[in-house]
Structure formats: C-alpha cells, structure tokens
A = this chain, B = another copy of it.
C-alpha cells in the first residue's frame, strides 16, 4: 500500500519508555500497515530517550537512535513530532514541552498532571508556535473522550461532565463491593497485582482524577484550566459498611469527578458518590473508566472503556499521532486560549442535592437523638436513617440519606456535631448522583 501514501513518514521521537512507551512501540510495530493507510503515511519512531538506557524493557530498542539529552529533540529537523511519556507536572517533561511548542514542534503527551497545572501556558505556546498540543491519552486512557468533548460534542452548551476517571479507585471500590472486603485489604491486593502503585496516594486520594477533571472541565465549558478549584476527596475513608448501606438503599459507590456549570459559576469536585443503579456509571466495574457529558442538544453522551494500561493508552497516543499526520488538529482546548474564560468557582454550599452521611458512634442512649437534633437544627431533612449495632466491634454505625437540600446544611450538621464525644470517628459525607 506504500504507493498510496501521500506524505513522507511521520518521524517520531519517543521520550519515556515505561509501560506506555513500550506499548506505543508494540502498537506501531503490530498495526503499522493499517496505521499507514489511515494516517496517509507511515508513522515511524526514529529516536528514543529515557532516564536509564540499560533497563530491560521487554521490547527491542535497537532499531531506534538512543538520545541521552532529550532537550535536543525539540530542535532536530529529522524529528516531526515528540511524544512525552515521562510524566510529572514539572521537571523534564515540562521543559521538553515548552521547548517543542515554542519551536513549533508538534507535541503529544499523556501527562495529565502537567496539563492540569500548566495546560494553559502550553496551549498558548502551541498557538504562538502554530503547532499541535495533543493529549488524548491524558484522560480516560483509550477512550477518545478528549476528541469527544473537543469535537464530537462541540456544538453543545454542556451542563455537566462527569465520570469515573481513575481505574485503581474503581477497581478497589468494585472489589470491596463484590467481595464485601475492607479498603486496606483490597488496596494491598491491588498493589500486589500491580493495579495500584506502591505509593497509591495520587490515585486513592483523588488527585489523578482531579487532574483529568481539570482538563475535561476546560473543554466542556470553555474555561481556563483551574486545578486548584477542584474540591478533592479520595476513597480512603469508604468502609465496607458504607458500600453495604448504599447497596441496601439502591446505590453503588464510585469515585466520581464532576464539573458542573451553573448561574453562580463552575463547580468541580472529585469525591466518592452514591450512584443509583439505573445510571450507567453504576455498571462501570473493575478498572474501567467512563465519562458522561450532558449537552443542551445532544442530551446525555456516555463513553466507556479501558482507562489505563499500555494497550489502551498507546492506542490514544497513536490516535494523536495519526491526527498530526493527517494535519487534523487545532486549538488544544477547543478554542484559542484568549477565548477561554476565567473560572468563577461556584459555592459548594449552595449546591442542591441529596447526601449520604455516616457516623461511627458510641453505643449508648441519646446518641441518635443528638444526631437527629443536629440535622434538625442545621435544616437538613432526613429521607432515611439506619442504625446498625450488631457485628460492629467498634461502636455503632448510623447512616443517613437526606432529602434534596443545600449542601451548606449538611456541612453545618457536621459542624454542630464536631467535638461531640459520642462520635468515634470523623463522619463521612458522600453526595448522591441525580
């Protein structure tokens, strides 16, 4: 089919040779002919770079030129595009990105942390440099959700975009759910299986999901990226009993990143939510990712797929390379940087919704009355309250589902109870997806 190629090969420098880097090499080797037909030209890795040259990566690196100093790649005329897979918000990845974009070299990255913190600056450099900044792999792995938001849903005013953006958390939560086991035990197993990092905090504290949400929110609402505006809570405090109570009430617990646009501004939050069983997110199991976008003409769009791993992530990286080869790319965040509006952060307290509150309390008379009084005084209306004492070695669990109301009232409930010696633990609040 080579006679059909309308362009010379696209020459790629690949920086970072971890799992995903190896996946990109394998993908281009395996699907090279098909990719050349689709891209209009072969896509060839010509140079590679990583921290440690001598590490065994399980792929044959001998066809590629090894480059010690990756910063030289930005200026090389025999490199058409640089792929960055080293990660980290700052440091070498950021330096390389700035160099490439400033010099007009197309830049493809999977680096959500860097984009969440510096995406606006990088998009500005790409614009000035007249080149591509592509990052499909940064959010939801193999699911083409960047393209779905930037292009597919582009005709819509989006009211909210949300989803399951971290496969590690979803694996842990759904395993807890299916097997009735505790968080620590399942996390340990996930680490042993390689599904969770030795230091899992980026995942389980919601930081990774918040990075991704920051990017999605900008695309959905035409706003400047603002990672600091994301209210982030992870899943460390979810216990097996929460999952059981939620199930009894017709919900499943998922770590949801949600950005919502309203009259009072933009609201971004990552936190465990109770998802009703009739919502598609309730059926996203294991390490899958999923994204929902709600537009004023398209209605609800739902994308699901594998959000991590070498294959899916490499699929997204190479999709970006095909776009570059086809010359089908434009503004990184769907519009010129100057057209992105600054975010006005909405007040969380004014948000209306139902909430789940769970208390671990002393098993003694009057505690339930104390909690009930606090909710009453804070103006929280209770839809259901369950107290379970049996089988609880350490106290009694009280789980409350509220009627829809302002979140400030829920917060006030907790403030009223703060310091009470009836409480054995910090109460947990999870909101309910409507």
Contacts and interface: CB of A to CB of B under 8 A. Distances in A.
A291 to B, nearest CB: 11
A283 B284 CA distance: 12
A336 B312 CA distance: 26
Given A297-B311, A319-B154, A328-B329, A336 B148 contact: no
B326 A330 contact: yes
Nearest to A158: B34
A336 B6 CA distance: 9
B142 A144 contact: no
B151 A222 contact: no
Given A155-B322, A328-B151, A330-B326, A315 B298 contact: yes
Interface stretch (A236-244, A300-308, A397-405): A300-308
A148 B154 contact: no
Given A31-B296, A297-B142, A147 B157 contact: no
B31 A156 contact: yes
A371 interface: no
A298 B311 contact: yes
Given A35-B155, A155-B31, A155-B319, A304 B301 contact: yes
Given A144-B148, A157-B31, A315-B298, A40 B306 contact: no
A369 interface: no
A318 interface: yes
A406 interface: no
B305 A1 contact: no
A38 interface: yes
B280 A304 contact: yes
Interface residues of A, number: 63
Given A311-B298, A339-B1, A319 B151 contact: yes
Interface in A226-251: none
Contacts of A300: 305-306
A299 interface: yes
Contacts of A144: 147-148, 151-153, 301
- Most chain-B Cβ atoms within 10 A of its Cβ — which of A299, A312, A334? A299
Interface string A309-336: 0011011111101110011111100111
B155 A27 contact: yes
A143 to B, nearest CB: 6
A23 interface: yes
Contacts of A8: none
Interface string A112-145: 0000000000000000000000001000001110
B328 A312 contact: no
A54 interface: no
Contacts of A301: 142-144, 303-305
Nearest to A23: B297
23 contacts: A1-B339, A4-B335, A4-B338, A38-B335, A40-B331, A40-B336, A142-B299, A143-B301, A144-B151, A144-B153, A147-B147, A153-B319, A154-B319, A280-B304, A283-B283, A297-B312, A298-B306, A301-B303, A301-B305, A302-B302, A302-B303, A303-B304, A328-B330
Interface of A: 1, 4, 6, 23, 27, 30-31, 34-35, 37-40, 136, 142-144, 147-148, 151-157, 222, 280, 283, 295-306, 311-312, 314-319, 321-323, 326-331, 334-336, 338-339
Given A142-B298, A147-B152, A298-B316, 10 more contacts: A6-B336, A30-B296, A30-B297, A31-B296, A34-B222, A37-B335, A39-B154, A144-B153, A151-B322, A301-B303
